[in-house]
Amino acid sequence: EAGVAQSPRYKIIEKRQSVAFWCNPISGHATLYWYQQILGQGPKLLIQFQNNGVVDDSQLPKDRFSAERLKGVDSTLKIQPAKLEDSAVYLCASSSLAGGHEQFFGPGTRLTVL
Amino acid sequence: SQQGEEDPQALSIQEGENATMNCSYKTSINNLQWYRQNSGRGLVHLILIRSNEREKHSGRLRVTLDTSKKSSSLLITASRAADTASYFCATDNSGGYNKLIFGAGTRLAVHP
């Protein structure tokens, strides 16, 4: 089966610019996650969707970050405006309600904010 | 906030040796999972152990869980150069929502 797809793989922007990331989860997976992974740290959950509803967004900086999951499939994560400290890898993952607790991760988008 | 803390932060061994990584956490959990991340890649699920289990095996992997000490260990036996990666423990205490909190990871280097 195809894995979790993310694009772009790399993005370099100036601070105060905006950026958007896209994720296509594994077909049929109801739950989708966005994580931020700063260099040398573990992934930190930003937002979790179940179908197209938000389950948890307690660690999403809502003044600059937004995410949506239209029709319960693809998702986009946006940062506007970006700050230097947003430089990180943004990982998307998905899991199946019926498949247990394993999360399947995409390759990530490496964001550099200059 | 990060729930799990891995120890050591970095580990360097020779091929054929065993590698042991430890994870400590703070609150009660539903399950604990271990993931591997190769450089520049996404994470790959290795093994899950539930709160009522004490030990699990998968191939060359052995995971233990001690809920009284709030700790887990991952043992990789007969390591290979291909095992070189970062290893993360992640805890789920979300009561069924499958929300994971990751530790900072252990960077394992296996030298041929």
Q: Which residues of A touch B98 (CB under 8 A)?
A: 31, 95, 101, 103
- Pick from B31, B33, B42: which is nearest to A107 by CB? B42
Q: What is the mean pLDDT of residues A19-47?
A: 95
Asked whether the beta carbons of residue A91 and residue B99 sit closer than 8 angstroms, the reply is: no
Q: Is B47 on the interface with A (CB under 8 A)?
A: no
Residue A113, pLDDT > 90, answer yes
- Supply A106's token pair: 């995409």
Identify the pLDDT of residue B93: 83
- Beta carbons within 10 angstroms of residue B97's beta carbon: 14
Is residue B1 very low, low, confident or very high in pLDDT (cuts 50, 70, 90)?
very low
The mean pLDDT value for A74-78 works out to: 97
A25 touches chain B (CB under 8 A): no
**Hey, is the C-beta of B80 within 8 angstroms of any chain A C-beta?**
no
Q: What is the pLDDT of residue A1?
A: 63
State how far residue B3 is from chain A, nearest Cα, in angstroms: 11
Q: Give the pLDDT confidence of B54-110 residue by residue, as tens digits.
A: 999 999 999 999 999 999 999 999 999 999 999 999 999 887 778 899 999 999 999
Task: Give Cβ neighbours of residue B19 (< 8 Å, ≥ 6 apart).
Answer: B11, B13, B75, B76, B79, B83, B108, B110
Instruction: Give the dihedral of Cα atoms B40, B75, B64, B49; nearest 10 deg.
Output: 40
Q: Name which of A31, A107, A108 is nearest B98 (Cβ-Cβ).
A: A31
A105 inside 8 A of chain B by CB: yes
Q: What number is the average pLDDT over the span A80-105?
A: 90
A98 or B19, which is more confident: B19
